[in-house]
Structure 1
Amino acid sequence: MVSEFTTLNGIVLTPAVPKPLSHWQPPPPGCFKWLRGCPENRSPNDGVLVKRKKETLMASMWHQPKLVNDGRVRLKRWNPKKVQGNFLAWCSWDSICQPIEAGGLGFRESKNFNKALLAKLTWWIAAGRDSLCVNALRSKYKVQANWLGGEPCKNASPLWRAIEKLRDVVKKGACFVVGDGSSIDMWKDPWVPWLEGFIPTPKDSTLPITDLPVSNLIDPATRKWKINVLKELVDSNSLEAIEKIIIPLQPLQDKLIWTLDPCGIYTVKSAINCCLTPRTSYSPADSLWKQLWKLKMHERLKVFLWRMGSNALPTKQRVFQRTGYSDPMCPLCGVEEESYSHLFLHCQMIKPIWFGLNWGLHSDNIPAANHQELLNFVVNPPLCPGVSVQQKTLKAQTSIQLALTLESIWNLRNQVVHNNAQVNHLVIVKNLEERIIEHFNILNPATCCNTLLEVLPRWSAPPPNSVKFNVDAATSKNGFTIAAIARDDTGFVIHCWSKSFPTTDPLIAETAALLWALEIARDNCFSHILIEGDAKICIEALAEPEKVPWRIQTLVSNIKCVALDFNVCSFYWVPRDVNALAHSFAKFASSQDFCFSCNSTNLPPSVHEVWIRDLLALSS
């Protein structure tokens, strides 16, 4: 209990009295004296640079009402330097907050940002984070195992009520990874990541639900599911989803993970994108925005193209349409209204710029009648038909040249409107060509051409008395087909194996292929092995435990467990060309209706051709 005479940094601390959120008041300014200069100075305790600003810290510690959040957005968005006044915005705040795939900029709404930051505290409470603050809160409010689905606490502080209020947000992504299953209740805790709500559906809904640990569903001898027991308890959809859960070979502790992040770690970004931002149905045209932000050009050019594609450039025609006054005629020629197509393509003062460049383009022939078609013309420029080794580079160069030309025209228009500048086409074209060459040098197309002259990577033989496995996975009718090929130090194919694997996730299939290769090597008494695969995420997960995707955490744990049975066991990532033999064999086996295996004497023709190619490269 805090006495009324207790002070902190000159501020009198009074006993906390719970109040409804409608009485919310911002904390006193004196509470943040110690934050003065935080973005520039270092913390006096550990010297870590404090990067979060005061507003972010406040949003992560207090539930802020909608009125406060909207007021902050209104102040900063519309007129940050004045309390009142008029301001014309060409894009609404809601449209800017849309994801970039939908034509927005992906800005975070203040309300959702506040919720996502507070939900992080909710996640820490649910996951049992080992920290002084979390332990104190869990102890004070007596947090139990099923806290996420429990009733809210009465007579709690405003912070705790805000934390409990966001449990619904956390429940959208919180799920247990089965270790030994002893701490997971089958009917109350989320533990099946492929089901909605992460909880299985009982086969008979009329029966009473009793406490049942998931450990009772696992056979301790074989470390597999008790299928007969599950068939009596859950429906067919739940049974199919549970069978996809891989049980670790050695019992581990059950772990709560955040399924909306690849690594299972709660992040504010994932919470906003998946839980708090309304999901809209994107049309096929929305992929144009995704392509825009992937262009290899300066970010300023991308923002200019986004403004043009969003109809946010303040042309005179747009100003006249929005305000009802001003002259809508083109400031360059004064003949037609200043629309997008006229300004950038059909104006008589602009045509010499297009024709004066090295390609001598007649802008009247460009099929673009509005801002969206202009953007599509830049992002997907029309190229000559035919296959070319430099098609990708040529497309990137053309997009850069078109974007720079459009930006140069817009800058010329602004100089004429605001500075009464004179149009000098020779100077404009000369400066534009220099900028284009500068951007081309940054793109460095010479590197793309020189790579064709380099020696392509090829398969290499393992050390003497060692066996190298190449693994891969290919899609099939019932999920995936995983394949493994063993070769000795001469490149001779010892054997090829394949089998179907019931999953729709390629990452799980590729990781399962690595584990299966280890099991094959152990069954064949190989003591020195090397395993190669072209799935980089899987190989990196074995070397960096903190970056293991949650979907393959159990598989990675099993791989490390089985790898201890060998004298030498190494894993390597190789490009697809080096792993071509395993890739071709997996592709062939996926077309078969049975588990296919063979040796060097009966390889399929397509696989045999790749093997001979590897042998020739090995001997050269």
Structure 2
Amino acid sequence: MGIKHLVAKAACFQVGNGASIRIWSDPWIPNFPGFIPTPKEGANSDLALVLQNPGCSLLNLLIGSREWFLLPPILMLTCCPLKRIAANLLPSKEIISRFNESMDLRCPLCNSAMETTLHIFTVCPFAKSLWFQSQWGLKMDVLNFDSPSEFVKFLLSPTFASNFSPSHREEFLLFGAILCDVIWKQRNRSIFENVDINLEGVAAKIFSLFVEHKSARPPLVRPQVSLAALGWNSPPRHGLKINVDAAVGPKFSVIATVTRDWRGRVVFTGSRKVNTTFPLQVEAEVVRWALTLVPDLRCDSVSVEIDSQVVANLISNSSVPPLWRIRFLCFDLRSFLSSYSNVVVSWVPRICNEAAHILAKWSLFWKFYGSFDVSFSSDCFSPIVLRESSGLV
């Protein structure tokens, strides 16, 4: 024991789980003079290597890995990003500045305020815009969260949604987790890859991921699709059917319509360029175009079919709150439908909407828009129309 002081000069702690290491007083950094880092002025000299966050006690089920199997399926999907946020473990600039006092603390997404976990996900102008564009139209700056754990608690149990069903609460949680994950990845790309911020592109990606994960959940009642429905079906006698679809490009999109009568004969086909790349808005625009054709059509009934179930539900079901981005467009379309009792908008599987789908993709690829005569249109489009009209699927 008499040589302990000599051994200590060249000894370094084995960190292990880090629970017993004091950052500024214990020797724990190999290849560092004395193995002990020098704290910046005013730093807590008794700071532990593993920080404990007592503010997360309300979220033990989310953070504690022992209870992982008790989590509902939707929470298991969203848990990874949220548990890091709740425990304030993400390496934000505020956290890193404890060990590097010379770094730039500005948020890379807004270049104004200091980057903290709460700032980047709630009050950063970039995040606020994304939250406000959601179907809930949230103004995050008025909620005044005191900690990251309080923010995650809000996602788990939103205060504005006391009358929400459990499935709607899960959808909100799913959207919030996806939004936070996409924001953090955009933040990292801005810092390490110098990627410019594209708000519209990020919003479209969040919505796309939300729809993808939401649709991956098994429905409570699986819809029964008859064999007769697996293909284009003619409208009622003396009626017209307008099939619509859209193709989204990197800088603009294309919408397409195919109108046929009850005999399967083509009345009108056409495509248009629209200056948006937000998928939901593009799909709503093509429905609007189809409905503008209705007053000039002389028929007993008009059926508009689209293979976007989300858009069809938003337009035909007035009880569903529309997304902020297309709120007024949805209201206009609902108003139009209420004044025409013989017009309906409905969802069909892609296989029943193939002609409009092919026309939209072809027009986007060749950047060619307008009205088309089936006899002189694309070789990939004409056979589809003839096959559907003849009843061959």
* TM-score scaled by length of structure 1: 0.33
Q: Which has the higher contact order (CA 8 A, sep 6+)?
A: 2
TM-score (norm 2): 0.49
Question: In terms of Rg, which structure is larger?
Answer: 1
